Structure 1
Amino acid sequence: MSQIICQRILLKLSGEALMSEKGGSIDPDIVQRLAQEVKDLCDAGIQVGLVIGGGNILRGAEKASDGLNRVTSDQMGMLATVINALAMQDALEYLGQPVRVMTALKINQVCEDYIRRRAVRHLEKGRVTIFAAGTGNPFFTTDTAASLRAIEIDAQLMIKATKVKGVYSADPNKVADAVFYPRLTYDEAIDQRLNVMDTTALVLCRDNNLPMRVMNIFEPGAVMRLMRGEDIGSLIVRK
């Protein structure tokens, strides 16, 4: 059996990844399948941090464009990520996987406050650690929160889970001749505006020399194959 290439990773899932094709905000079957993928990583000895967006429930920026105060709408979006985190926690616990939800907002009755040292300890003990409520501040996306938490916990790799193979020059579902990038730098992703993540998140990763993989989370077993050294998706690096 091939060797695991990373001991600690940060997996970023979009909220939309949890949605039902029929339009439901959270599909239990999808959540359970994703939870099994995460548990398989833990069973292989990989420490997993997890950030889940809230777009399946509410997008703060969109609500702000509809006339709601931006700070209020972003706070609502942070709460949406907590809902998703609790759903994933429940699915992981059903599989027998120890897990903790840590939030940047104080919601002590349902999850722990985010404390870096405690988060690292959870990871060292083999617990999936889900980081919810973004950075706790408005005007920052969950992509930025994922980059920040990955750096704080000394993750060796951040995985951006998408619905396509990796990074393309355009949306491959809309543009037939979109070019696939198997490897690129953060500066290229920023300069070409490839919409991998928001610029703040990319700059954080670049400046802290954190590599990122962008890959299709809906390909069964792909993350585990990546952890065993297979070249999957797109790799983004500092240089």
Structure 2
Amino acid sequence: MKKIVLKLSGEILQGKDRHVDIKYIENLAKDIFEIVKKGYKIALVIGGGNIWRHRDNADLKMDRVHSDQIGMMATIMNALILEDMFKEKGLKVKAVSALSARAVLPDYEPKKAVSMFKKYDVLICAGGTGKPYVTTDSAAALRAVEVGAEALLKATNVDFVYNKDPRKFKDAKPIKSISAREVVEKKLGVMDLSAVSLCMSKKIPIFIFNIFKKGNLLRAVFKRDVGTIIN
């Protein structure tokens, strides 16, 4: 059984005039359908930034724990949307949450996650880790370890990891391959460093790629020839 973890930020789902881009999700479902046809099982870890981000609401001076809990609930909303739309496309999918919300989603339980892949091709993991102060990057790394994934794919809106911020520096150079140790030592802002460290300890490679370029998700899974590999 080939298993991968796909980390999607909520911002990736953001539409121009609404919280979610329906057309984008439909196209995403088509790509995921192609992936599972090749025998892969996918744990999709979803963020909630299209609905709520702590840093975007700093002016409210809200308690950080409450703010993070709102963010985790936003991931549950996204998971329900993805679950329904994926089912509509014929995918065998189940959404679960690390933040208990049993009225709408079953709890995520690590010991049951692998066995759930016997029935479902896609497991949508909401609720982050269920704890405040922890990023969904870390949740994705944790899920990768728990389900025994062969790789963690982080979908972004940039083509590569760069040696410095390409939005600020025109001479920023793309990095196609880098060790997890270098990412941690240089504190490259490509992913939560605790997530990188966890994957490093379990020898799980991380692929960071631009999901907005047509065909890149399929290439990231099948060819591993796009973006940056952290290994």
TM-score interval for Structure 1 and Structure 2 normalised by the shorter chain: over 0.9
Aligned to 1:74: 68
1:118-151 C-alpha deviation (Å, 9 max, x unpaired): 2212223342001100000011011110110111
What aligned pairs does 1:44-123 form with structure 2 within 5 A after superposition? Answer: 44-63=38-57, 66-123=60-117
Pairs aligned (count): 231
Aligned to 1:176: 170
- Rounded to whole Å, the distance in 1 between the matches of 2:59 and 2:164 is 25
- The answer on whether the counterparts of 1:61 and 1:73 sit within 8 Å (CA) in structure 2 is no
- Rounded to whole Å, the distance in 2 between the matches of 1:8 and 1:204 is 17
- The TM-score, its normalising length taken from structure 1, stands at 0.90
1:63 offset after TM fit, Å? 3.5
- The TM-score, its normalising length taken from structure 2, stands at 0.93
Aligned to 1:150: 144
Q: Which amino acid aligns with 2:160?
A: G
- The answer on whether the counterparts of 1:167 and 1:214 sit within 8 Å (CA) in structure 2 is yes
Q: Which amino acid aligns with 2:8?
A: L
Aligned to 1:7: 2
1:65 offset after TM fit, Å? 6.3
- Rounded to whole Å, the distance in 2 between the matches of 1:202 and 1:175 is 24
Q: Which amino acid aligns with 1:148?
A: L
Q: Are residues 121 and 112 of structure 1, via their aligned partners in 2, closer, same or farther at CA, if it must alter by over 3 Å? A: same
1:64 offset after TM fit, Å? 5.2
- The answer on whether the counterparts of 1:104 and 1:113 sit within 8 Å (CA) in structure 2 is yes
Q: Are residues 139 and 230 of structure 1, via their aligned partners in 2, closer, same or farther at CA, if it must alter by over 3 Å? A: closer
What's the % identity of the aligned pairs?
39
1:29 offset after TM fit, Å? 0.9
User: 1:38 is matched with which residue: 32, 40, 43?
Assistant: 32
- The answer on whether the counterparts of 1:100 and 1:111 sit within 8 Å (CA) in structure 2 is no
Q: Which amino acid aligns with 1:128?
A: V
- Rounded to whole Å, the distance in 1 between the matches of 2:134 and 2:145 is 16
1:133 matched to 2:133? The reply is no
* DSSP 3-state at the match of 2:117: helix
- The answer on whether the counterparts of 1:147 and 1:158 sit within 8 Å (CA) in structure 2 is yes
Aligned to 1:3: none
**Greater mean alpha carbon deviation, residues 189-198 or residues 218-227:** 218-227
- The answer on whether the counterparts of 2:160 and 2:175 sit within 8 Å (CA) in structure 1 is yes
Q: Which amino acid aligns with 1:9?
A: I
**Greater mean alpha carbon deviation, residues 154-163 or residues 168-177:** 168-177
- The answer on whether the counterparts of 1:122 and 1:128 sit within 8 Å (CA) in structure 2 is no
Q: Which amino acid aligns with 2:6?
A: L
- Rounded to whole Å, the distance in 1 between the matches of 2:222 and 2:195 is 26
Query: What are structure 2's unaligned runs of at least 5 residues?
Result: none
- The answer on whether the counterparts of 1:104 and 1:134 sit within 8 Å (CA) in structure 2 is yes
- Rounded to whole Å, the distance in 1 between the matches of 2:143 and 2:12 is 20
* DSSP 3-state at the match of 1:118: helix
1:18 matched to 2:13? The reply is yes
Query: What are structure 1's unaligned runs of at least 5 residues?
Result: 1-5
Q: Which amino acid aligns with 2:145?
A: I
- Rounded to whole Å, the distance in 1 between the matches of 2:122 and 2:23 is 19
